[in-house]
Amino acid sequence: MSTLATILIVVLAAVAVGALLLLGIATFRNRKRERLQREFGAEYQRAVARSGGQDAAEDDLAERRRQRSKLHIRDLDPARRDHYVQRWRAVESQFVAHPVAAVADADQLVTEIMAERGYPVHDFERQAADVSVDYPDIVENYRLAHGIAVRTREGTATTEDHRQAVVHYRTLCEQLLGADVRPGAGWTAGESR
């Protein structure tokens, strides 16, 4: 075999190995991307839009997952869950007469539930990031409800905004508590779900 043929075989082998390596990297990245898209749902697209690109968004979501894994999130015992279900029902019952107070109380109640379960609650963005790992389908509801709570404190939210906030907070409460919080929902205090 001539030297030229040997060089050609080595070059072709190196190109083939390089192509296989690139294909492997691309496959790995695509699987990672698909896994994050499945795991975070609509929150994945929000992260892409916010960060300006898929790579930065994926880094952000992976960091959220790492931060969340450091937390010691726990379920509430049945008595505490019952307590919070009753408090939520009180929030909803005051809505018609006092919608501003209902929104403020709902915001406070969600924060208390999160704190008792072990989520950090001192920074809203961090709260939302942590919630996005466990509840990616409802984190946007949480952001919307919290935004309305802020506008309520500023005096710029409408009654319809207040209604939307309470609906969004209800969804989050149900997820955090693992219970249907609506009155007459077929779940009674003390009953496990």
- The tens digit of pLDDT for each residue in 155-192 reads 999 999 999 999 999 999 999 998 888 765 543 333 44
pLDDT given for residue 176 in this prediction: 94
- Give the Cα separation of 115 and 126 in Å (integer): 13
Per the domain annotation, does 184 fall within a domain?
Answer: no
| pLDDT for res 161 | 97
pLDDT of residue 187: 39
- Domain span at 169: 78-177
Considering the domain architecture, whether residues 15 and 99 belong to the same structural domain is answered as no
Residue 193 in domain: no
Q: Could you tell me what percent of the chain has a pLDDT over 90?
A: 57
| pLDDT category of residue 16 using cuts at 50, 70 and 90 | confident
21 and 28 in contact (C-beta within 8 Å)? no
Q: Is the pLDDT confidence value at 32 over 80? A: no
